[in-house]
Amino acid sequence: MPVRIPDDSDFSSFKDQCLSTDGWNSRYNKSGVTVWCREEDSSSVQKIKKSRKDGNISFQFSRNSC
């Protein structure tokens, strides 16, 4: 499989997925840390994202896992 360098639309899509809660299931929410999971219908990939609130700062992380 050839490597493709992400472009602006890829980064925009990634940001939208990080900020949206549509289609995501909250699996953990405690002490300001929330973890969401989302299964993709067309593959065996499960997407996971995490958000942590620390004072006035909010951190978000998203990744795909198999």
4 occurs within a structural domain = no
57 occurs within a structural domain = yes
- Which range marks the domain in which residue 33 is found? 24-65
pLDDT at 5: 93
Residues 6+ positions from 62 with CB-CB distance below 8 Å: 14, 17, 18, 47, 48, 49, 50
32 occurs within a structural domain = yes
16 occurs within a structural domain = no
pLDDT digits (tens, 9 = 90+) for 11-56: 998 888 888 888 889 999 988 888 888 887 777 777 888 877 766 5
38, 46 contact by CB (below 8 A) = yes
18 occurs within a structural domain = no
Q: How many domains does the chain have?
A: 1
34 occurs within a structural domain = yes
pLDDT at 20: 86
